[in-house]
Every structure is written in C-alpha cells, then in structure tokens.
Amino acid sequence: MNRMKAILTLTAAVAFLLSPLTTTGFNGFRPDQFPLPQIDPPVQPEGYAFAIWGLIYLWLVAGAAFGLLARAEAPDWDAPRWPLIVSLVVGAAWIPVAQMSPLWATVLIWVMLVTAIMALLSCGRGDRLWLAVPVALYAGWLTAASCVALALVLAGHSIMGEQAAAIAMIVLALVIGAGVLIARPNTPEYALTLVWALVGIIVSNLEPRNIAVLALCVAGIAVLGTLVVRQRQRGA
C-alpha cells in the first residue's frame, strides 16, 4: 500500500507539472471575470513573482520520484502522501477552472492550501531536501496565492473595497504563515516563498505608491524573518 501511494504521489506531481503545458496557461484572473473588474489590484504581486512555480513544479516531481525510488516504504514519507496527493490532483485541474470561474478557483486553491499544509505538518524530519523542502515551498506559495485569490473575489464582488481586501488578506496570509512556522519549525523554505510573494506585492505597489500595503508587507517580512531566526537560534 505504501508503494502504491508513492506511485500515486509521483503521478499526481507529474500531472501537476504538465497542467500548464496542456492548457493555455494562467497569467492571473482577467479583470472582466468579476462583476467589478479588478484592474491592477493592490493585492496582486508583480508578474515576475509567479516564475517561482517553475521551481516548485520541478522540486515536487523530483521529491516524489526520490520518494518512490528510495523511500517507498518509509513511514516518515508515507504520512504526508495522501494530503499531498489530494492537493496536487486538485492543482492539476485548477487552471481550467480558473479560466472559467474565479470563485470556484478560489474554493479549489484553498483546498490545495489546507491539504498542502497538512502534508507539510506530517512530513518526517529526514531527507529534508527531498521531502519537507519541496512541500514547504509549495505550501508557502499557496498561502500567498490563496489569500490573493480571496482578496480578488471579495473586491470583485463588491464585498470589500480593493484596498481593504488587500490589507485583510495580507494579514490573513501572515497569520497562517506564522501559525505554520510555529507548528512546523525548521521550515525556512515555507517562509521564503511567502516572503517572495510579499516582495512581489511591494514591487507592484511602488507606483503609484500604496503606503499602507507597503508598510504591511515590510512588517510581515520582518515578522516572518524574526520567527525563522529565533527558531534557528533555538535549534528547532
């Protein structure tokens, strides 16, 4: 059974990797996909930030391949496989859904996030490079992406203003991020991808300058960095 889960994990990771290649890709929600068009929303990171997906795709596949070939029966590898499989399978179908419905895409990306965090929290302590690190990168970026998607839905459906939605969802991403780092110490890679997203938001809000969003992102980076440093000092 453990080997079968290892095979399914690799299959799901490959399907996730191939999903952008079998569709027209995804460059963000179109403004006209919302009742109130979202044109240059403050919560949206600068476009270059999304390039991190390439690293995440490849590392997840490499980790899953290593897990099948070298750790198929290892208990500390087996625990995270089911939630990771669920997250990756949903992720493989996410782009076509996002092209049709931002609302349903937001629901699905939160499913991806919750199951990715479950996988990260259950990863064994060994083989960090192949197990915890790719899952941490994946979960960290999903933390940011899911909150960005929710902010766009809230603003796009006139539930909140763009600025209020951006601030609220950045705070939510930071709360989730801090909680994950506390629950799973020694995962600076998780913090790194979340910081990468925050830097992308900073760049996108430099012109015109959005002081509130810029200050919040800088403060968030400082908080995440402090958590990581303190955990390393404690040897967590």
- Scan for tokens 């076509």, then name that residue: 96
Taking only the tens place, the pLDDT of each residue in 96-106 is 999 999 999 99
Which range (19-28, 38-47, 115-124) has the least confidence?
A: 19-28
For the chain, the domains span 2-24+36-234
- DSSP label of 45: P
* pLDDT score recorded for residue 21: 87
* pLDDT score recorded for residue 1: 81
* pLDDT score recorded for residue 236: 55
pTM across the whole model: 0.96
Residue 151 has pLDDT above 80, yes or no: yes
Q: Which residue would you say has higher pLDDT here, 23 or 148?
A: 148
Residue 186 has pLDDT above 90, yes or no: no
Split at pLDDT 50, 70, 90, the class of 129 is very high
